[in-house]
Every structure is written in C-alpha cells, then in structure tokens.
Amino acid sequence: MCLAIPGRIVALEPDTHLASVDVLGVRRRVNVDLVWDQGLAEGDWVLIHVGFALSKVSEEEAAAQLRLLEALGEDQQALEEVQGYIFDATD
C-alpha cells in the first residue's frame, strides 16, 4: 500500500536532519528525523517514503536472506540429483 524505495545516502546535513539520497542516479533531499537516533553515515541505505527516510536498510539481513535462498536452491539440486540417481538405478 505504500511505495517505499531503498536509496543510498550521498550527503548528510546534520543541522536540518536532511540527507541527499541517490536512487540509480536520481537524487532527492529527504528528511531523516525518523532514523536519526539509529546513527547515519554517508553510504548507508535508507528506505524512502514521501520524502522521509522510514528505516535503515540492513545489508547483513539482506545478505542472510539471499544466503538462505541460495541454500534452498542447493538442497533442491541435491534432491534432484538423488532422485535422478534413483531413477537411473531402477532403470
């Protein structure tokens, strides 16, 4: 229901709690009041919604998700190989 897009902080303006964020080369200044407590640095990724950063994006969590899904793929491949082997054996 709410369009929010990850963008990378390219410049921080601590006085005004504004940050310049970059989405594929498109830049906009967004308000970072809602994530200020979490500590921000240039290069951090934030989720942008209607001109506000709603939350910080965690690279570790994203990497963990991808690792988990990779493992799923490997399990399946193993399963297919085993099934293929059984199939061959009974042939």
Partner 1 sequence: MRYVDELRDPRLIRSVAAEIARLADPDRHYRIMEVCGGHTHAIYRHGLTELLPPNIELVHGPGCPVCVLPMGRIDDGLAIADQPGVIFTAFGDMMRVPGRNGTPLEHQARGADVRMVYSPLDALKLAQANPEKHVVFFAIGFETTAPSTALTLQRAKALGVRNFSVFCNHVLIVPAIRAILDSPDMRLDGFIGPGHVSTVIGCRPYLFVARDYGKPLVVSGFEPLDILQSILMILRQLAEGRAEVENQYRRVVPWDGNPAALRAMAAVFELRPYFEWRGLGFISQSALKIAPAYAEWDAEARFAVPGIRVTDPKAAQCGEVLKGVLKPPQCKLFGRECTPEHPIGALMVSSEGACAAYYHYVHRLATAGRSDRCARQQPV
Partner 2 sequence: MREAAARLTFRDPLIELVHGAGGKATRRLIEGLFLPLLENPTLAALADAATIPLDGLRLALTTDAFVVRPLRFPGGSIGELAVNGTINDLAVSGAHPLGLLAAFIVEAGLPSDVLRAETEALARAAQQAGIVVLGGDTKVVEHGKADGLYIVTTGIGLVDARAELGPERVRPGDRILITGPIGDHGITVLLARGELDLEADLVSDTRPLTPFVAALLDAAGPGLRWMRDPTRGGVATALNELAREAGVAVLLVEEALPVRDAVRGACELLGLDPLYVANEGQLLAVVDPSVAEAALAALRRVPGGELAACIGEVRTEPAGVVTVTTAYGGQRVIDMLVGDPLPRIC
- Of 11, 65, 81, 82, the residue at the interface with partner 1 (CB under 8 A) is 65
What residues does 49 pair with on adjacent strands? 52
Instruction: Name the residues that contact partner 2, by CB under 8 A.
Output: 1-3, 5, 7, 22-29, 48-51
Whose Cβ is closer to partner 1: residue 83's or residue 91's? 83
Burial class of 70 by CB neighbour count within 10 A (0 to 12, 13 to 18, 19+): exposed
Looking at the chain, the number of H-run helices and the number of E-run strands are 1, 5
Give the interface with partner 1 as residue ranges (CB under 8 A): 1-4, 6, 24, 31, 33-37, 45, 47, 49-52, 54-59, 61-66, 69-70, 72-73, 76
